[in-house]
């Protein structure tokens, strides 16, 4: 398994997808690609509504994936993130 600076663990695949849906992951990738960026510029670059991007950024901050600098710009302080999901295939059926 590749090494990463930060690890997240989720109890179920549903929990993972609930916390990191595709648009939120796209937001995280955009933050990583752009470096420190305002939420307004991020929303504009993603072509998404500001309030939705703001909500995604808040959740990413709560998970420790994104931080804010003194000017209020958001950035990802890690090179990569490894996500682990441990779930029984039989229990999920």
Compute the C-alpha angle 80/81/87, nearest 5°.
150
**Is the model's pTM score more than 0.85?**
no
The pLDDT tens digits of the residues spanning 1-17 come to: 445 567 777 777 788 88
- Say which CATH class 6-85 falls into: mainly alpha
Q: Three-class SS of residue 90?
A: coil
Measured over the CA atoms of residue 38, residue 39, residue 42 and residue 44, the dihedral's sign is: negative
The pLDDT tens digits of the residues spanning 56-66 come to: 999 999 999 99
Euclidean distance between CA atoms 11 and 84, whole angstroms: 9
Residue pair 25/16 in contact (Cβ under 8 Å)? The answer is no
């Amino acid at each position: 398994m590749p090494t990463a600076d930060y690890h997240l663990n989720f109890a179920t695949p549903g929990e993972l997808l609930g916390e990191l849906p595709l648009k939120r992951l796209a937001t995280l990738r955009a933050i990583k690609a752009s470096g420190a960026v305002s939420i307004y510029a991020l929303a504009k670059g993603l072509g998404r509504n500001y309030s939705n991007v703001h909500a995604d950024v808040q959740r990413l901050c709560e998970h420790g994936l994104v931080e804010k600098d003194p000017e209020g710009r958001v950035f990802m302080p890690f090179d990569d993130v490894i996500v682990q999901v441990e779930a029984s295939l039989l229990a999920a059926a």
